[in-house]
Amino acid sequence: MRFKTSITIGHGEPPRNRRLMELDDDCLLMICEHLALGDQLRLMEVQEERFSSLILQLWSNRYAKLFDFRREQQLNLLKPDELAQILDHLGWRTRALINLPGTGEGCRKWLKRMRQSLNHLQILSFTKSNTLVIQKLPYLCPNVVDLKLGECEGLTPLDVDFMFENLKNLREFEMRSSWNCSQQRYQYPRNLEILKLPACMITACVSQIFQLPRLRLLTAFLCRNSEHGHLDNDGKANCSGTGTLSACLQQIRGRNCRIVGLRLQCRLDDCLPVVDVKEVFRLQSFAWHSQLTVHYDVADGSVKWMPQRPQAVRSLLRFLATQAASLRELNFTRNAHATPTFLAQLDAHLKRAGGCPSPQLTNTDADVEADRGADADTAETNDLAFVELKLLHLPNEQMEAGTVDSDEGLGQKDNGLLM
């Protein structure tokens, strides 16, 4: 349903428009609800106080929790000034603005003309960011708790460190990619509890990341910035992410670390650590989703299969066997490597270690429904390999171990432990 916004309010108006204005507020509100955001904005420009008041009331009710830019398809058709006006109005009426195109002209205009801080904003996310976004954030939303920058353009460590220093309440941070990201070093806030970065950035500063005292969940995904050497000559998965799993586990060992969840996009290591039962962490669940990937070489037309190396699979069997006492869940959904032979070998390893029985090791579709509700990370997963681990709290937090799920939501899709 579309509403003609070019009506004339005043003396001599057509009878049908006069009858429209004679409707009560409930009827007018129902009409406004069926209009797209752009049409609602243009209706406000008619400068009839009842329309403006009703539409602002509608926005306050509909977007009180969050406003998702990506869901409003018509926004891409609006002029930059119109888009900036909508963000002006919505910024005061919601606690979360997500999927904003930070490098778009309309969003730039909105950022530049903001003069007063939106102190109530708790969640802010961008599909793309640049230096302007970074410089404006401390003044725009000083109390933000959850920040996602998306793909970043032209950021420097100085800009990012300035932002971190001034966002005192930041608890969750995500960056999808950045120019020369494997060389970037940032001073991450020590209050961070959830961190999501390209695998190359985590590999480059894994020691620093594991010194964050409150970090609970760490996600590493493949960097899409292929222009800067993040794909190897065979077109395989992000080579800078190789070894991320063993590097993270080695950092956890011997540290007073609070991490209870890892989500990593990387090839399995050939030498996963054999962890003694007296070590500082206990593995509760392990998921490995991996498909045999076909690489087509345009130059000579050859086709190469790129399975996981046999040495890595054997290393995985030994690693899981050492964690048999605490292991409660294994998930090999959508895993081409989980052949009957592999499952039989894993079953034998776990039985020798006194672990979970064979019925838990079957490769079923039990998680299909869960996969459908997975977060955006799922759609962007490179199927060559992704690994998920859920860990028990370490010794200083053993008393809390039974409340991990309820406190942190590790089993919920809000935190998206399934990539």
Could you tell me if residue 297 is inside a domain? yes
Rounded Cα distance between 159 and 193, Å, is 22
Which tokens in the block code for residue 271? 């030498």
Could you tell me if residue 10 is inside a domain? no
Number of domains the chain is built from: 2
Three-state SS string over 248-266 comes to: HHHHHCCCCCCCCEEEECC
Q: Which amino acid is residue 310, in one-letter code?
A: P
Most confident among 79-83, 261-265, 276-280 (mean pLDDT): 79-83
pLDDT of res. 273: 78
With 70 as the cut, is the pLDDT of residue 7 above it?
Answer: no
Residue 10: how many CB atoms within 10 A of its CB? 7
Query: Which residues have C-beta within 8 Å of that of residue 211, sequence separation ≥ 6?
Result: none
Could you tell me if residue 203 is inside a domain? no
Helices (H), 63-95: 80-91
With 90 as the cut, is the pLDDT of residue 100 above it?
Answer: yes
The residue ranking higher by pLDDT, 337 or 173, is 173
With 50 as the cut, is the pLDDT of residue 61 above it?
Answer: yes
The residue ranking higher by pLDDT, 59 or 294, is 59
Query: Which residues have C-beta within 8 Å of that of residue 362, sequence separation ≥ 6?
Result: 343
The residue ranking higher by pLDDT, 98 or 183, is 98
Over residues 10-46, the pLDDT tens digits come to 444 444 455 666 666 677 778 778 788 888 888 887 7
Q: What is the average pLDDT across 270-276?
A: 76
With 80 as the cut, is the pLDDT of residue 263 above it?
Answer: yes
pLDDT of res. 393: 60
Q: Which of 28, 62, 96 is the last residue of a domain?
A: 62
Q: What is the DSSP letter of 35?
A: S
pLDDT of res. 255: 66
Q: Which helix or strand (DSSP H or E) is residue 346 part of?
A: helix 340-352
pLDDT of res. 111: 92
The DSSP string of 294-340 is EEE-TTT--EEEEPPPHHHHHHHHHHHHHTTTT--EEE-TT-TT--H
With 90 as the cut, is the pLDDT of residue 109 above it?
Answer: yes
pLDDT of res. 302: 77
Q: What is the average pLDDT across 382-387?
A: 62
Q: How far is C-alpha 355 from the geometric centre of its chain's CA atoms?
A: 33
Domain that holds residue 281: 219-365+378-419
Q: How far is C-alpha 137 from the geometric centre of its chain's CA atoms?
A: 19
> Across all residues in the chain, what is the average pLDDT?
76
Could you tell me if residue 325 is inside a domain? yes
Over residues 327-370, the pLDDT tens digits come to 889 998 878 788 888 899 999 988 888 765 544 444 444 343 34
Could you tell me if residue 24 is inside a domain? yes
Could you tell me if residue 68 is inside a domain? no
Q: Which of 5, 40, 62 is the last residue of a domain?
A: 62
Over residues 112-157, the pLDDT tens digits come to 988 889 999 999 999 999 999 999 999 999 999 999 999 888 888 8
Backbone angles phi, psi at 409, to 5 degrees: 65, 35
Over residues 227-257, the pLDDT tens digits come to 444 444 344 444 445 678 888 888 887 666 7
The alpha carbon torsion through 343, 345, 348, 354 (nearest 10 deg) reads -70
Could you tell me if residue 126 is inside a domain? no
Rounded Cα distance between 281 and 365, Å, is 29
Q: What is the average pLDDT across 313-317?
A: 87
Residue 268: how many CB atoms within 10 A of its CB? 23
Could you tell me if residue 149 is inside a domain? no
What's the chain's length in residues?
Answer: 419
